[in-house]
Amino acid sequence: MTETLQRPTTDHVAVPGGALLPALQLGPITVDTPVVLAPMAGITNTAFRRLCREYGGGLYVNEMVTARALVERRPESLRIIRHEPDEVPRSVQLYSVDPVTTRHAVRMLVEEDRADHIDLNFGCPVPKVTRKGGGSALPWKTGLFESIVATAVREASRANIPVTVKMRKGIDEDHLTYLEAGRVARDAGVAAVALHGRTARQHYSGQADWDAIKRLRDALPDLPVLGNGDIWSAEDAVAMVEQTGVDGVVVGRGCQGRPWLFGDLQAAFERRGERHRPGVEMVCATLLRHAQMLIPYFDGDERKAMQDIRKHVAWYFKGYPVGAALRTQLLTVESLAQLEDLLGRLDASIGYPGADAEGPRGRAGSPKRVHLPEDWLVSQELNEDQRQMIQDAEVDISGG
């Protein structure tokens, strides 16, 4: 099988008119195609970002990195913030629950010239994050949220680096925070806010609330607002823009196993009708190249690269008639040669399977109880026990 990535075949339909949206301006950064790759732990490393960038324009954010682990210069955290020489702008997403650690981490990124854009994570719903008061739990504590955001903006401004915020609607429907958090972030000087239209309790279940995204857009007329949630196709992105009036979209799970989605998105935002319809041959070529690029990312550790590519197999072959036995073998692949051999057994003449290859990727799951620190919801301000907990809370949750 060839190692050269070719583009999948496309359908060409001319669509008249100008661009759907103007370029997104984040401080000194101009994003011509207002599309952002959402940071996803264990997914959006340099290899996957390159695949996406080769298909379309946008802003490509790396995996979330923990502020404390970054300040302590842990090897995995330094790997996460590594960018390729031609990757401009360099976008880093930072997770923190403590303003002091935030200051040190942003100062490090500034003084060592490691980023052109910093995004702050206030959207992660996983228990190991929220039980420490982080991610989607943190905006409930308004003062803490304001302090972290303002500290990051102040430190980043020394190098004219824009700071953005990504958040959810709130903890649950009884504890919504997005409108207040949006105003606080705006007043602290962020360049944009992105809203995932789900609560922490929803996790990834149910349907994203685009009406909430519109309400935030309307509440912040002087600040770019980006929408996130249930964008599985270019048509979904256009629908979100038209329904909510957002200035751009953030795409997460919809691009898993489909880096060409960014080509579709750019075409749609330029009002062109081109869409990628890859057959098995092109899916295999892309998957193989993805695996090849993971090897240098893991410093030449081929086995680690193969272990990493396994999680992508089901996403790449969603809807394609691969067969259970071969899928199982691909999920236990140990070497690049073995991967190439297994992919070579597929019928390369099989074309695009249509709707079966589209739609949600992975499991949406069901609503989950949100794990929070003790008495977290009693007040929107920290009590003394919570303040001490926050100071001790920053664990390394990067890459997981």
The residue among 100, 196, 111 whose CA lies nearest residue 148 is: 100
Give the angle 268-273-274 at the CA atoms, nearest 5°.
Answer: 95
The greatest distance separating any two alpha carbons of the chain, rounded to the nearest whole angstrom, comes to 65
Torsion of the alpha carbons at 25, 26, 30 and 36, rounded to the nearest 10: -100
Structure tokens at 329: 């073998």
Contact (Cβ atoms closer than 8 angstroms) between residue 8 and residue 276: yes
212's tokens: 């909430």
Sign of the Cα pseudo-torsion (294, 295, 297, 298, in order): positive
Cβ atoms of 351 and 279 closer than 8 Å? yes
Location of structure tokens 């972030």 = 185
* Sequence-ordered list of residues with C-beta below 8 angstroms from that of 144, at least 6 positions apart, any chain: 97, 99, 133, 138, 382, 390
Q: Is residue 130 within 8 Å of residue 98, measured between CB atoms?
A: no
Strand 59-66 relative to strand 117-122, pairing: unpaired
Q: Say what angle helices 336-344 and 280-297 make with each other, to 10 degrees.
A: 180
Lookup result for tokens 């989950």: 368
Q: How many CB atoms lie within 10 A of CB 337?
A: 10
Supply angle C-alpha 224, 230, 233, rounded to 5: 95
Q: Which residues are catalytic?
A: 124
Strand bridging mode 10-11 / 163-168: unpaired
Residue with tokens 């794990």: 371
